[in-house]
Amino acid sequence: MIDSLVTAFRAPDIRRKILFTLGILLIFRVLTNVPVPGVNQDRLSQLFESNQLLGLLDLFSGGGLATASIIGMGVNPYINASIIMQLMQGVIPSLGELAREGEYGRNKINQYTRLLTVPMAFAQGYGFSVLLASNQVIDSNPFFSFETLSLLISFTAGTILLMWLGELISERGLGNGISFIIFAGIVGRIPHQAGPIVTGPDGFLRIIPFVIIAIIVIGGVVFINEGQRRIPVQYASRVRGRRMYQGQTQYLPLKVTMAGVIPIIFAISILLFPAQIAQYFTASDVDWVKNAANWVVNNLSNNNVLVYGVLYFVLVVFFTYFYTAFQFRPEQTADYLRKNGGFIPGIRPGRPTEEFLARVTNRITLGGALFLASLAVLPLVVSALIPGTSGLQLGGTSILIVVSVVVETMKQLEAQMLMRNYEGFIR
């Protein structure tokens, strides 16, 4: 692998992409230490120590939320906007047709997602500003003041800046930019989370289960990500000009986890969103609003491990199927095979092929979904059984995201190298 890295750096275009990606991630880490004005850091630290939900949100902002930096909202508004746009494609026929128009349609949907991100960032930024004002982290009116407006503009601008940086990575660097931003945030926060546990009494004994889980998760994620069902496809003999080409047998690879790491990211965003909104109203003067907000925070966050774990499990399974349905369409694949003279041995072309592909996809997706969901909630179970390790409750999810991003990036880098007849990473 070291030889492959050296070889990759010798190629000027690959070296530029790697250095560009690293440069953008460095800018992201610098931005996490640029605070917005007027924030009492001591009160902010006390607020985060007493609120585990904010700690979970802070993990995906790379520590920017705990320091009230200009990128404190992270890419959560963009992820929520992406989820809404995915759902709307199944509800609004015109958006569904636009999504099937190739690159032009994807670019238009991405443009709509960017536009939707702005009001989503505005709403979440306002909620966090109200939360800070209600807890005397900033000296202002909890609902509107110049300080609140300043924070709101800063948070919204920071989210737009992160979205732009992520798209720069996707266009000029390696891998998916938004996934890389989340990856950098998680990696930057893992030492901070693990530090208090390791340095505490019997710290190394309590960290051992998580180390074992990490090794199992890394091996399992790589194994499942590379797992696929290879369906044989036979092409009939074809005549082109004066030549006859004999039929060929190829394979249609169906991955176990076509959706990759997206279901994990979507599930966390959806799961934390109601608790995040309710958190802003826990200091309300209206009793019923305050009680309802406290109920949502206590039952839809990791304060209630049972409810949180069950919802987390179900959402991961749901989004695995949901995103796979957008990634792989059996009817389009069956139509493509029919038009090109291909068929699956023992399966008639057309509708029977479509039904066969749909049945196989559902079966392998079920295994992948249950695997991802089980690994996602396993650290919750371990942390509930081992006192003092609640700070690593997102450890399994963090490893899932980090390993998936690394594997996908290695594949893209390997593809770039193989185009130049270099030896790739994955043997």
- Which domain does 45 fall in, by range? 32-173
Assess whether 130 and 214 both reside in one domain.
no
In this structure, are residues 28 and 184 in contact, taking their beta carbons and an 8 Å threshold? yes
In this structure, the answer to whether residues 121 and 231 fall within a common structural domain is no
Q: Are residues 279 and 426 in the same domain?
A: yes
The verdict on 53 and 151 lying in the same domain is yes
4 in a domain, yes or no? no
The tens digit of pLDDT for each residue in 89-146 reads 777 778 778 877 777 888 888 888 889 988 888 888 877 777 777 777 776 665 566 7
Distance CA 250, CA 125 (A): 52
384 is a domain residue: yes
Q: Are residues 276 and 424 in the same domain?
A: yes
380 and 281 both lie in a single domain: yes
Report d(CA 179, CA 157) in Å as an integer.
20
Residue 225 lies in a domain: yes
The answer to whether residue 183 sits within a structural domain is: no
* Average pLDDT value for the chain: 76
Is 384 found in the same domain as 271? yes
Strand boundaries in 248-301, DSSP class E = 249-255
Same domain, 78 and 205: no
Mean pLDDT over residues 305-334, rounded? 83
How many independent structural domains does the chain possess? 2
Inside any domain, residue 55:
yes
List the 228-235 sheet strands across, edge first: 249-255, 228-235, 342-343
Question: Which CATH number is 298's domain given?
Answer: 1.10.3370.10
Residue 20 within a domain:
no
Residues 236 and 167 in one domain: no
Mean pLDDT for the stretch of residues 395-400: 66
Q: Residue 173: helix, strand or coil by DSSP?
A: coil
Tokens describing residue 140:
């202002």
The DSSP letter of residue 233 is: E
Domain check: are 226 and 138 in the same one?
Answer: no
Exposure of 404 in the CB half-sphere (CA atoms within 13 A): 24
| Residue ranges with strand state E in 236-379 | 238-240, 243-245, 249-255, 342-343
Q: In this structure, are 130 and 41 located in the same domain? A: yes
Q: Model confidence at 75, in pLDDT bands (50, 70, 90)?
A: confident
Angle between helices 262-279 and 52-59 (to 10 degrees): 140
| Mean pLDDT to the nearest integer, 38-59 | 70
247 located within any domain: yes
Between residues 365 and 197, the one the model is more confident about: 365
> Are 210 and 393 spatial neighbours (Cβ–Cβ below 8 Å)?
no
Q: Which residue has the tokens 């309300």?
A: 284
Q: What is the DSSP string of 33-88?
A: T-BPTT--HHHHHHHHHT-HHHHHHHHTTTTTTTTTBTTTTTTHHHHHHHHHHHHH
The DSSP element (H or E) to which 231 belongs, if any, is: strand 228-235
Same-domain status, 234 and 383: yes
pLDDT for the residue 423 = 47
- Residue 309 lies inside a defined structural domain of this protein: yes
- CA dist., res. 218 & res. 215, Å (int): 5
> How many C-beta neighbours within 10 Å does residue 425 have?
16
Count of residues for the chain?
A: 427
